Chains A and B, each alone.
Chain A
Amino acid sequence: MTEIERHSFDVVVIGAGGAGLRAAVEARAAGLRTAIICKSLFGKAHTVMAEGGIAAAMGNVNSKDNWQVHFRDTMRGGKFLNNFRMAELHAKEAPDRVWELETWGALFDRTKEGKISQRNFGGHEYPRLAHVGDRTGLELIRTMQQAIVSLQQKDAVEFGDAEARIKVFAETTITEIIKDGDRAAGAFGYIRETGNLILFEAPAIVIAAGGIGKSFKVTSNSWEGTGDGHALALKAGGKLVDMEFVQFHPTGMVWPPSVRGILVTESVRGDGGVLRNSEGRRFMFDYIPEVFKEKYAQSEEEGDRWYADPDNNRRPPELLPRDEVARAINSEVKAGRGSPHGGVFLDVSTRLAPDVIKKKLPSMWHQFKELADVDITTQAMEVGPTCHYVMGGILVDPDTGAASGVPGLFAAGESAGGMHGSNRLGGNSLSDLLVFGRRAGAGAVAYFQSLSGNTPKVSDASITKASDHALAPLRNPGGENPYTIQADLQQVTNDLVGIIRTKSELEESLSKLKGFRARLANITCPGGSAFNSGWHLALDLENMLLVSDCIAHAALIREESRGGHTREDFPKMSAEWRKFNLVSHFTNGEVAVEKLALPEMRDELLNLFDIEELGKYMTPEELTRHSKGANA
């Protein structure tokens, strides 16, 4: 057996995005020895790419905002499929998490009174997104990174060793969660730089490994988004919930081809950008769905007035939830009214002055200038849907982040599911990371303390198994190139499990996905194990395939259209289907999906909504629990 580096920690956090770092801070604050593991360099996690902002009902710009309104918006955005408890905790705790960032040195844009400024975003009733220009994710990750550094500085003073209680293992990839009986016992992986194998023994493991976008061809996600966290949990006996719900962001770049999918932040629309088709029509007015009719402007004039006077006008339909806008763009392009490169036009230049655009959307200006040779202060952008976010994820306990089915395993951030229901609102992810990152960290601490020494052990047999598995692609001569397999896999998901789905295509996708298993088993990566990108991809591919399998399975079963899941053959939302989540398992090498009853909202939360609104989503029996429903 190859030499294996061994470490032992109290808590291991897989992932150095917003969720992972917040969890690590919490564990370290409780005095536990904590490891942070990430595939990239420290500070490069996907969170860094978030642009628009972080949603928190602080009420700084519109004092009518509060957690109840935020809760309502979140549930509405998710089409009431959200885990209500998560949505509730999220809405209540998000402001504290944002304020806490300020005490660690974050510098958000300010209001005139010197408070944190907040901006409008799709689906949020009031201006709610704390932001820094359009680089909010960078601010969040850097602030968290610096918070970790400040803890290390304290440890350096106290213990003479900065890494005494919190250590970052950058460019290290976890390939397997190792268990002792049914409990988590450790995490196994490799160091990218050397190719050496590494084992972390730890009773409490937090998975915060981000999203799955790389399973799709057109995506806003980086190479990291290969669904590792999802797959690690699944293989360890955890469950994934809501995997059929994948968010296609309506506005990704479409040209040039090499940048296809790169995100165009929603703030472009929040700050006044309008969508037009090739005929120059603001087509979004034609796509306002029945459930949102009263909340959105019915004429361009009203929509335009809203930017200056939001109290007396309704917002323009460009700010509908993402799934609606993405589908609308998709339909326009299909109807032949698209832009030259297969998107639609998004224009801020007509409403904002050039210097305002550069100030409010600096990185968008930069991005289009440098990557597409388009000056957004005078020209329209071409945009189209791009795979952006997965609502589905590891099934967890809302309060503690404990993964269902595996004691010792916790999850937070995009890797965890439930919070966003069938569709996530913009800005609700960054706040989700902090709220549930902190809770998962605290959950891990409580679990660790409850063990009082009765720690699980990692067996030699399991190490051998994990290392053989990891090294297989390097040892197998004469097989297939991982890059080809990746491209083929992305094509399948894109064509058959994409934004609009049908039964026949989903069935086809499942059989095609099966075919990839054999190909994966016969992968070859020439070269040594030191920083071998091909080998890294080969191991990631397994996760991408597993996740795609879950998505396709769940998508086939859910026979309705809701949020990030659109079935051409079942175009309506069904109140019956709202009562269930779909949960994926992995047993005996096969993905299986089953129905799980959705937890029922507590009465006082139910009563935050008008019964008329609930009527659009819920069955008549469910409505009887509403305070106005008893005699209805």
Chain B
Amino acid sequence: MTRTAKFRVWRGDASDGALKDYNIEVNEGEVVLDVIHRLQATQTPDLAVRWNCKAGKCGSCSAEINGRPRLMCMTRMNTFTDEETITVTPLRAFPVIRDLVTNVSFNYKKALEIPAFAGPAHLKPGEYRMEQIDVERSQEFRKCIECFLCQDTCHVIRDHEENKEAFAGPRFFIRLAELDMHPLDTLDRKRAAQEDHGLGMCNITKCCTEVCPEHIKITDNAIIPMKERVVDVKYDPVRWLGSKIRRREGL
């Protein structure tokens, strides 16, 4: 079941680079990362590629395969025809370091900008009580393996570098949603999502959801619910009035 496949891999660094063609052996059951590794071991020992788990769990091996953001370790070779040339390029929304490796520090910077979970001060460790149905929504978002494919595909920053300042990106919208839906988080994430993290720049075109290898429903379950929550506090005069009155009565 061994065959030879045509690969086209981007080689280069920040200064320059190009797509290079390789013919390389492929065995039954292999994924793109296996082939890249074989390339490393036999033809291009210095080919730079990031990977860790090879099981879709760590989110290291993100790249673009035939123009689509994907995990190399989860892209099976039998999804391509024998004749097809398989093009592998680095993530295009981030600065390239070398070959298939990009500088993803943007994402770590954004992570730092979102205030951490703030639990209730009166509960000591071991005293937290949460119902399963109340944690499930946030648990979906915590499946995120930080592959940053969603960040890479999001046109807001992919096509507009200048938006990186103001826009946290889908990975961090699910983080905000996770915290806002966390049954014991005490901070209000809604206004911040709109005013500090650029939620309004998302035009819900759903590319993030399309590429997420964890199948997190980023748009439907995080971004749109957050947009609705933002409307609650910022753009809905009736609810705004309601909350004022309720607060008054609560006194």
Direct contact of A and B (CB under 8 A): yes
Bound Cα distance A226, B244 (Å): 60
Please name the residue on chain B nearest to A108 by beta carbon: B135
A589 lies within 8 A of chain B by Cβ: no
Known contacts A96-B125, A531-B97; is-contact A370 B74 (Cβ 8 Å): yes
Q: How far is the CB of A101 from chain B (nearest CB, A)?
A: 9
Let me know if A43 and B46 touch, CB within 8 A.
no
Interface residues of A in 131-163 (CB under 8 A from B): 132-133, 135, 138-139, 142, 146-147, 149-150, 152-153, 156, 162
Known pairs A132-B142, A370-B76, A533-B45; A363 contacts B57 (CB<8 A): yes
Size category of the B interface is 35 or more
B116 CB to closest chain A CB, in angstroms? 3
B27 in contact (CB, < 8 A): yes
Q: How would residues 349 to 370 of chain A score, 1 for a CB under 8 Å from any chain B CB and 0 otherwise?
A: 0000000000000010011001
Set B47, B48, B112: member contacting A149, Cβ < 8 A: B112
Check B129–A114 contact: CB distance below 8 A: yes
Give Cα A95–Cα B131 distance, bound, in whole angstroms. 20
Instruction: Annotate B43-76 by CB proximity to A: 1 below 8 A, 0 otherwise.
Output: 0011111111111111110000000000000101
A49 at the binding interface (Cβ < 8 Å): yes
Contact (A44, B97) CB under 8 Å given A222-B58, A532-B46, A534-B45: no
Determine if B56 and A113 form an interchain contact, defined as CB atoms under 8 angstroms apart: no
Please report which residues of chain B, range 175-219, place their CB below 8 angstroms from some CB of chain A when the two chains form the complex.
179, 182, 185
With A114-B129, A531-B97: A105-B50 Cβ-Cβ less than 8 Å:
no
Residues of chain B lying within 8 A (CB to CB) of residue A153: 112, 115-116
A563 to B24, CA, bound (A): 42
Complex Cα–Cα for A58 and B119 (A) = 21
Whether A300 is near chain B, meaning CB under 8 Å from some CB there, is: no
Inter-chain CA distance A482–B58, complex, in Å, is 25
- Measured in the bound complex, the distance between the Cα atoms of B108 and A105 in whole Å is 18
Interface flags for B19-43 (1: CB within 8 Å of A; 0: not) read: 0000000011111001000001110
Chain A 465-489 residues near chain B, CB threshold 8 A? 481-484, 487
Tell me how far the C-beta of A61 lies from the nearest C-beta in chain B, rounded to whole angstroms.
Answer: 14
In the complex, what residues of B have CB within 8 A of residue A95's CB? 126
CB distance from A527 to the nearest CB of B (A): 3
22 interchain pairs, CB-CB under 8 A: A43-B146, A44-B60, A48-B52, A100-B125, A105-B117, A107-B135, A107-B142, A114-B131, A135-B57, A149-B111, A150-B117, A156-B112, A222-B58, A256-B30, A258-B27, A258-B30, A363-B57, A371-B56, A371-B76, A483-B41, A483-B42, A533-B47
**Leading 10 A-B pairs by shortest Cβ distance:** A256-B29, A527-B46, A105-B117, A150-B116, A114-B129, A99-B125, A483-B41, A534-B45, A531-B48, A99-B126
| Inter-chain pairs besides A41-B104, A147-B116, A483-B45, 8 sampled, C-beta below 8 Å | A41-B50, A48-B52, A115-B129, A150-B116, A152-B112, A258-B27, A532-B48, A533-B46
